Amino acid sequence: MKGAVCTICTEQFECFHTVSALKCGHIFHAECVSVWLNQSMTCPQCRQKVIRANIIQKLFFSRPDGDDSILGEPNPSVELARLSSKLEESQNKLCIQDREMSKLLAEKMAISDRIDQLTESHR
């Protein structure tokens, strides 16, 4: 499933996602396709008519490394790695935002100082 994406939300499929298939063969996150089918009873990809009874609600994939985790039922080590990665990504974003905030505060102080100088010079 590496590199495969849900064409509704455009996110890659991960081992902890529940994946559903339509009769036409297209696959989507179960939640995404459920929301989609509440609005349109056609495949989001090929527009073929869909009958809810024909939807495969949960797909199971085997991995070459022997980890036959069921999509939708997270493997604790995979889930831990995913959460660690998200935490690191969030910490990096926060660090970037902190740097940006510092730059903006420095600019604000410089502008305030300049305003004070101009005000003083016009008195």
Residues contacting residue 41 through CB under 8 Å, at least 6 positions apart:
49, 50, 51, 52
- In angstroms, the first-to-last Cα distance of the chain is 71
Within this chain, do residues 97 and 120 fall inside the same structural domain, yes or no? Answer: yes
Q: What CATH number is given to the structural domain containing 15?
A: 3.30.40.10
Within this chain, do residues 80 and 70 fall inside the same structural domain, yes or no? Answer: no
- Sign of the torsion formed by the C-alpha atoms of 64, 70, 76 and 78: positive
Of all residues in the chain, the percent with pLDDT exceeding 70 is 86
Residue 116 has pLDDT above 90, yes or no: yes
Within this chain, do residues 95 and 66 fall inside the same structural domain, yes or no? Answer: no
- Name the helix (H) or strand (E) containing 18: none
Note the pLDDT of residue 63. Answer: 63
